[in-house]
Copies of this chain bind each other. A is one copy, B any other.
Amino acid sequence: MAHKYSLYPVIMAGGSGTRFWPLSRHLFPKQLLRIGGEHTLIQQTMRRVLGCAPASNVLISTNAAQADLIRVQLVDWKEELTNGFLLEPEGRNTAPAIALAAVEVLARDPNGLMLVVPADHVVTGQRDFQAAVELASELAADDYLVTFGIKPIRPETGYGYIKPKSTVLLGKRGKLRGYPVQKFVEKPNVAKAGQYLKAGHYFWNSGMFVWRAATILEEIGTHQPAILASMERIRDLKKDGATPQAIDDVYRQIKPVSIDTGVMEQSSKAAVVPVTFKWSDVGSWGSLDEVAEKNKAGNVMTGRVIDLESKQSIVYADRRVVATIGLQDMVVVDTPDATLVCPKSRAQDVKTIVDILKKQRAPEHLEHLTVQRPWGSYTVLEEGPGFKVKRVTVNPGGRLSLQMHHERSEHWVVIAGTARVTRDQEVFDLKVGESTGIPVKTKHRLENPGQETVHIIEVQNGPYLGEDDIVRFKDDYGRTVKV
């Protein structure tokens, strides 16, 4: 079928990562992880939607803190996504984020269709996915708000359920059918969930939607008028050339509400397409084996794991060797600065662990020892009173900002590649095995003029070694500089 209207995929990538701790962190959420494939979840999602629309139509709904990391992961589509990032100043659940995206799509194309997909789900069956999107698009062109219904495979109590009005056929495509929604059922208890599973005509709400931007905005206006009003105010402020601060303030004042409870469950335009592709929201470590490859004993084991006779367990090793003996239905996740051990059945309680770390202001909830940057990355090897040791990598052509620190001196030893160093007025190259020192309060810059990734060991000395002791004078990546 030729689409009547163009499709704009909207990748919802604003979530913060607690449920996959310690592999996910507040600043490194699940969508950035390599789960169930060679690509990260957001890369998988990007590739998936490119089967339905060109990259220049894709919008990424996220926030400033995560945008840099997402840009790094989606660098293959750097040009196409230049204007594709919609940044929330603060998370307000899905309805406001979708309204913001709808406004953007409308501005580009008054007849535009939106395909809303979470960045961190796993879908298997690209053809089936595209077929479902195409049928949903047909229904959406008729002003339906279309959700994808997933056939339940267990009495899950963590999802909402959808019952189609199966007497009314809205459209079909191969084996796929589209129906109006008879009712949405909020997360049921286990007895109800068992009934739905047996009944066979209830479907999981997958959180993926297709609709016309105009339709969803209209329905948001009907059911969440305050959100629509805020969108109009933001539009007016932009017209008047207001400060980003003023615009963000309007967004921050919106009451958080999800698109499911706020709009879908109240709208008479809701439709559902029960789908045939395999889907998982990989909601916790315990559900990893839905999407990852298992060995004969039912274990999902990644990295340098030495196992004796474990069964149905998930073991993730990062840099260290992890030895496991006789585990049953256990989760073991070993990262450079934090380790998790629990039964699969308790995997959802990792949220409590993250809360405890947060209260302790422990860095292990916030980010990894390895931090991605637009120019490369750094890994903290050790820190202690008065010193910090990092391995810094600089990509070919990458260049850190021209910067200065008030409180620390730095020493650099090159261990791979050729590094170009700016130190005050000097510019010189350092080869493998060469080193230099950067005294405190000295302007400096590190760059990689070559084709090979530069690795240096940086030893910092000083009374204060926080990342925020930095004055930037020039930056290639649009970060704030001193003027």
Q: Which residues of A contact B (CB under 8 A)?
A: 21-22, 306, 308, 315, 317, 320-327, 330, 332, 334, 336-343, 345-346, 349-350, 352-353, 356-357, 362, 364, 379, 381-382, 384-387, 389, 391, 409, 411, 413, 415-416, 432-433, 435, 437, 455, 457, 459, 461-462
| Minimal beta-carbon separation of A129 from chain B (angstroms) | 35
Q: Is the CB of A330 within 8 A of B341?
A: yes
Chain B residues within an 8 Å CB radius of A334? 334, 339
Q: Is the CB of A381 within 8 A of B389?
A: yes
Q: Is the CB of B437 within 8 A of A321?
A: no
CB closest chain-B residue, reference A333:
B323
Q: Is the CB of B411 within 8 A of A435?
A: yes
Q: Is the CB of B323 within 8 A of A22?
A: yes
For this complex, 22 residue pairs linking A to B, each with C-beta atoms less than 8 Å apart, are: A306-B353, A321-B364, A322-B338, A322-B341, A323-B340, A324-B340, A324-B341, A325-B341, A325-B349, A325-B350, A325-B352, A327-B341, A327-B343, A334-B334, A334-B339, A384-B415, A387-B416, A389-B389, A413-B461, A415-B459, A433-B461, A435-B459
Chain B residues within an 8 Å CB radius of A413? 411, 459, 461
A461 to B362, CA, bound (A): 34
A25 to B386, CA, bound (A): 31
Chain B residues within an 8 Å CB radius of A356? 306
Given A357-B306, A381-B389, A389-B381, the answer on whether A325 and B339 have CB atoms closer than 8 Å is no
Q: Is the CB of A337 within 8 A of B325?
A: no
Q: Is the CB of A341 within 8 A of B352?
A: no
Given A325-B349, A411-B413, the answer on whether A461 and B437 have CB atoms closer than 8 Å is no
CB closest chain-B residue, reference A313:
B341
CB closest chain-B residue, reference A349:
B325
Q: Is the CB of A386 within 8 A of B357?
A: no
Chain B residues within an 8 Å CB radius of A346? 308, 325-326
A350 to B317, CA, bound (A): 18
Chain B residues within an 8 Å CB radius of A327? 341-343
CB < 8 Å neighbour of A387 from B342, B379, B409, B415: B415
Shortest 5 CB-CB contacts between residues of A and residues of B: A325-B342, A387-B415, A433-B461, A413-B459, A326-B346
A386 to B346, CA, bound (A): 43
A433 to B389, CA, bound (A): 12
A194 to B416, CA, bound (A): 64
Q: Is the CB of A343 within 8 A of B326?
A: yes
CB closest chain-B residue, reference A304:
B362
Chain B residues within an 8 Å CB radius of A433? 409, 461-462
Q: Is the CB of A341 within 8 A of B350?
A: no
Chain B residues within an 8 Å CB radius of A435? 411, 435, 437, 459
Chain B residues within an 8 Å CB radius of A338? 320-323
A467 to B431, CA, bound (A): 24
Given A386-B416, A411-B413, A459-B457, the answer on whether A353 and B325 have CB atoms closer than 8 Å is yes
Chain B residues within an 8 Å CB radius of A353? 306, 308, 323, 325
In the complex, besides A321-B339, A330-B341, A341-B341, 19 extra interface pairs with C-beta distance below 8 angstroms are A21-B323, A315-B341, A317-B339, A320-B337, A320-B338, A322-B338, A323-B340, A323-B342, A324-B341, A325-B341, A325-B352, A326-B345, A326-B346, A334-B334, A381-B389, A389-B389, A433-B462, A435-B437, A457-B459
| Minimal beta-carbon separation of A67 from chain B (angstroms) | 28
Chain B residues within an 8 Å CB radius of A437? 435
| Minimal beta-carbon separation of A288 from chain B (angstroms) | 16
